[in-house]
Amino acid sequence: MAIERKSSARDPERPQTNRLIAEKSPYLLQHAHNPVAWFAWGDEAFAAARRADKPIFLSIGYSTCHWCHVMEQESFEDAEVAALMNEAFVSIKVDREERPDIDQLYMTVCQAMTGSGGWPLTVVLTPDRKPFFAGTYFPRESRFGLPGMLDLIPRIQAAWGERRNDLLATAEQVLAAVRQAPSAAGGEVTDHELQAAYQELANSFDDRRGGFGEAPKFPSPHSLLFLLRYGERHGEPRALEMVERTLRAMRRGGIFDQLGFGFHRYSTDRDWLVPHFEKMLYDQALLMVAYTEAFLVTGSSDYAATVREVAEYVRREMTDPAGGFYTAEDADSEGAEGRYYVWTEEQLRRVLDPESADLARRAYGVSPEGHLRSEDGTAGANVLHLEGTLAPEDVVRLEPVRQALFQARQERTRPHRDDKVLTDWNGLMIAALAMSARALDEPAHARAAMAAADFILRRMRTPAGNLLHRFRDGDAAVSGLLDDYAFLVWGLIELYETTFDASYLGHAVELNRRLVERFWDAEHGGFYLTGPDVLDLPVRRKEVHDGAVPSGNAVAMLNLLRLARLTGEAELEQRAARTARAFSGMVHRYPAGHTMMLVAVDLALGPCQEVVVAGIPGREDTRRLLAPLRRRFLPRLALLLRPTDEESPAITILAPFTVPLRDQGGSAAAYVCRDRHCGMPTTDPEQLLAMVTANE
């Protein structure tokens, strides 16, 4: 792999600007000095295209996208390419993270037209937003069968002038294909799909290296969450083995930042060694969830340590002073991918004394040859990873070595950080921090989750109470999408079960109600990605297939089931069942592509139980009852606290079935409830745990 790839040269001193200079998105601002006459997505651009009778050149990417930077430098900063674009098109830039609905629609178009997709995403549209050409990265000049912009633009311009009817027919055919609703078999999703998904994952598992499939290799944490549940349900040790081998290999590999912590986006090889170096907030969140649940299953201190390390990275580098979490860090710095992170043997020895340098070289797999080669042929750049097994005394000695290298690395030019706050990805991180707070007894994690939740609830809603998707530089904007509601509700549920602050459960209930009102497909079931007020797309789509993040429909279904058990509201469970039926055809065809939906199905299949602890919050007897439940992997358990020191606690309004549940003789008592019926109370933590685990 070559690391000396040029990234875009963005000079804030350049006087030339285009319309993007007025935007908030870091990605759009990166292109604000291009000679291309970029528009942001909006009515102004489409009106201009209609007036000029020109097609739309739509370019979608994000601020930490390496190949987006490459295409910018090669083409969008090039005067000749820009002149051709300005003559032939009205050009629009979209930040895929700011408008994931636009990205998802046209990525589906690209995959339908070309069989693949990626970023930068390039789509050419009619002025009424209908696509007739799609692709991803295009170089400035044609090479090796890949058309270059200098050849491609005149060809599209000529076709628009000479064969427009053919292009319009193509656009209609493509839109007709993507408009098709997901095929529903009309049946249930059952344990049969769970078993089929497990078998598909087992067949693609890399027994030697962990993970699934060939290079590039992605973490796929939601598949690991599914495997943990499948192993527990079916007593299948192989499922846990796949999870553990993957988690251990990733933590030891170059995909994990061994000095500053946090996970890079994916591994370019099968060994988890050489990553694509960007860091995304959602990867940190979902992998924290996976490592936390693996800790609950195994008790391994290694998994707990990884969770704490990722949380340390997020709090140190990705947290806004107001409480929200930033989006991502770039792979590039100083014009090269990975330069901030890699080390030569000589660089190690300049920082460390000889004995420490030898330890670092052995521990982190550093060699004179290195793992990467730059485009000029220079070798010697190493991706730090944990190589072999160290003696116990060397493990202790390695920590000050790591800290010294980390401090030295801080002097390097840092990669760009995308500092916008996204509601959906923040919801995932809130969930991860809340879960780890109670599993690892880390109050600081809970405080960080609460700060982020409070920030979003306070600053990222409309006056009517609906969610907004993006916050940056004091500005909250973009109508909230399904994932914003679903992921934030997930985070609020976890935050309630960690803090037992009923206001978080109340917000979850209210936002879930709005989610149903805004996104529910009353005719076919399931949820649309966009709300009824998003009118600037030609298609309103639904999605259930998991991507880099789990599908909003899957998380919404999981939330419905959990809220049904936390509140006793049966209608929520019925809607969850209809959601599963709406997508059953797709799940039947490819179970392993819908593992988060199957996590929800696992909960629906049960056996499920609710535990209500009636006691005084924070008192020792209450904590003693809660503690054993928080240290076990109990994925089908809902946990509530009914305060007994209040006359009418808020939880009794949200969950009326808790009203008659009281302490016993002044001591905290726990009630185990199943099938809308609560059993006799117990004040004994061991008896409570036995009652719960007997029902699992």
Which residues are bridge partners to 640 per DSSP?
Answer: 612
Rounded to the nearest 5°, which phi and psi values hold at 419? -100, 20
Residue 670 and residue 612 in contact, taking contact as beta carbons nearer than 8 Å:
yes
Does residue 378 surpass a pLDDT of 60? no
Residue 484 and residue 423 in contact, taking contact as beta carbons nearer than 8 Å:
yes
Segment 18-33 mean pLDDT: 96
Segment 656-665 mean pLDDT: 95
Does residue 7 surpass a pLDDT of 70? no
Q: Can you tell me the distance from the alpha carbon of 98 to that of 237, in angstroms, rounded to the nearest whole number?
A: 41
- Among 253, 248, 255, which Cα is nearest to 298's? 248
Cα dihedral value 407, 413, 418, 424, nearest 10: -30
Write down the pLDDT at residue 13.
52
pLDDT band at 145 (very low <50, low <70, confident <90, very high): confident
Here the tokens at position 596 are 């988060």
Peptide bond into 216 cis (omega under 30): yes
Which residues are bridge partners to 678 per DSSP?
Answer: 673
Does residue 6 surpass a pLDDT of 60? no
Peptide bond into 607 cis (omega under 30): yes
- 154-175 burial: b if 16+ Cβ within 10 Å, else e: eebbebbeeeeeebeebbeebb
* 3-state SS, residue 376: coil
Segment 270-292 mean pLDDT: 97
Cα dihedral value 409, 411, 416, 419, nearest 10: 100
Q: List, as one string, the DSSP characters of 490-553.
A: HHHHHHHHHH--HHHHHHHHHHHHHHHHHHB-TTT-SBBSS-TT--SSS---B--S--SS--HH
Could you tell me whether strands 475-479 and 468-472 are parallel, antiparallel, or unpaired per DSSP bridges? antiparallel
Q: Decide which of 452 and 676 is more confident.
A: 452
Which residues, other chains included, contact 149 with Cβ-Cβ below 8 Å and sequence gap of 6+? 75, 81, 84, 85, 138, 139, 140, 141
Q: List, as one string, the DSSP characters of 115-175.
A: S---SSEEEEE-TTS-EEEEES---SS-BTTBPPHHHHHHHHHHHHHHSHHHHHHHHHHHH
Q: Can you tell me the distance from the alpha carbon of 57 to that of 20, in angstroms, rounded to the nearest whole number?
A: 15
Q: Can you tell me the distance from the alpha carbon of 647 to that of 631, in angstroms, rounded to the nearest whole number?
A: 31
- 396-414 burial: b if 16+ Cβ within 10 Å, else e: ebbeebbebbeebbeeeee
Q: Say which amino acid occupies 127.
A: P
Does residue 684 surpass a pLDDT of 90? yes
pLDDT tens digits, 207-245: 999 999 999 999 999 999 999 999 999 999 999 999 999
Q: Say which amino acid occupies 242.
A: M
CB-count exposure of residue 461 (10 Å: 0-12, 13-18, 19+): middle
**Residue located via tokens 């629009």:** 92
Task: State the average pLDDT for the chain.
Answer: 94
Count, residues in the chain: 696
Instruction: Check the CA dihedral 682-688-690-691 and report its sign.
Output: positive
Does residue 31 surpass a pLDDT of 60? yes
Alpha carbon of 641 to those of 8, 101, 498, 631, 634: distances in Å?
53, 38, 10, 17, 17
* 3-state SS, residue 266: strand
